[in-house]
Structure 1
């Protein structure tokens, strides 16, 4: 999934003729802390609510305001993971998407990004989660997949995280099955260390419920 596919059509842009007051009002209505300033369809800068609140005269036009040149953006062909990286690195409310010529194509919102990541990682699919704790040198996705398949279990997604304190690797497996005890036993037989297990029940799909609650909160 690429950035162009994540563009939200509901995010307006700011223009040089807009005033600080108008920009703040628009941000308040949309529950956003940032909006892009666009001139002749070219992305210029990402304006922040705090900077506008600090203006001595918020009635002046945006063209009259000195900005800090903060201009995070993502190319339209960039992968969804690059968008996630930028959102986290710059604590963004929106992320502008641009063409090779710096034409403004639209913006990605947190809600859109989280929704896409949930689909990408199989979060909304029913199934349990199993985390392995291992030395990075022992990580073999092909072997992990083979062990899962031997238990008639499919791995829907794999996420890895390195503990900076220990150097150990956490490998999180999202599966298509709710009952994972047989898989746990097989991994242990192959000397894998189980870090934690989260099994879902048909009545209480916990991961999906938590995802839905998060999306409802973001939409408030």
Structure 2
């Protein structure tokens, strides 16, 4: 399904001449974290947050508090992953959509975009999740792909799930094969396997050796 099919336009932006009391009433009726605001000409000015709406004088116009407006939005051409990033960066559950001509087209709801993400092959296709870790200056996505595919795996998706100044963790979704050979190859390329897997023969071998040592020490 195209992201444009999720555009909702049942809520129009409030005018900046509206009173704070009107905004408060709207928040009481809806579950949105923000409400879009426009000027008298319909030009999008930003979003007013619910938290701010309940802190200000209810008889004053929104324009009195324009300095608090969140200036976030996406274009109707913005890809869904960038839309999801915009939601996260602005801690909102509603994202205004503007055309290339800056015309307000409607908004996305966070749940709709998350649902679209959950319908992607990364989640919907069968496969195993693998989290690998390596020094940040030593890893490459091309190497990761080569390791997976050289062992008959199909890389369904990958993203950086954790990063600091020294290390980076990459989460992979792998289809078409068991993970053991892929895991062992990652280790040969100096990747640390962060996620635990029952089929990991290396871990099983360590466990067997540990059990043997414990039995020996108990003699």
TM-score by length of 1: 0.72
> SS in structure 1 opposite 2:118?
helix
**Aligned residue for 2:14?**
15
**Aligned residue for 1:193?**
192
Identify unmatched segments of 5+ residues in structure 2: 199-219
Q: CA RMSD in A?
A: 3.0
Deviations 1:78-119 (A, max 9, x none): 333333333222222312111232210111221122223334
Does 126-135 or 66-75 show the bigger shift? 66-75
CA distance in 1, matches of 2:84, 2:161: 15
Q: Are the equivalent residues in 2 in contact too, given 1:74–1:97 (CA < 8 A)? A: yes
Shift of 1:173: 0.7
CA distance in 1, matches of 2:34, 2:152: 48
**Aligned residue for 1:109?**
109
Q: Are the equivalent residues in 2 in contact too, given 1:118–1:124 (CA < 8 A)? A: yes
Q: Are the equivalent residues in 1 in contact too, given 2:94–2:108 (CA < 8 A)? A: yes
CA distance in 1, matches of 2:142, 2:13: 49
Q: 1:14–1:98: structure 2 CA closer, same or farther, 3 Å change rule?
A: closer
**Aligned residue for 2:26?**
26
> SS in structure 2 opposite 1:139?
coil
**Aligned residue for 1:122?**
122
Shift of 1:15: 2.7
CA distance in 2, matches of 1:27, 1:177: 48
Identify unmatched segments of 5+ residues in structure 1: 200-220
**Aligned residue for 1:171?**
170
**Aligned residue for 1:45?**
46
Does 4-13 or 84-93 show the bigger shift? 4-13
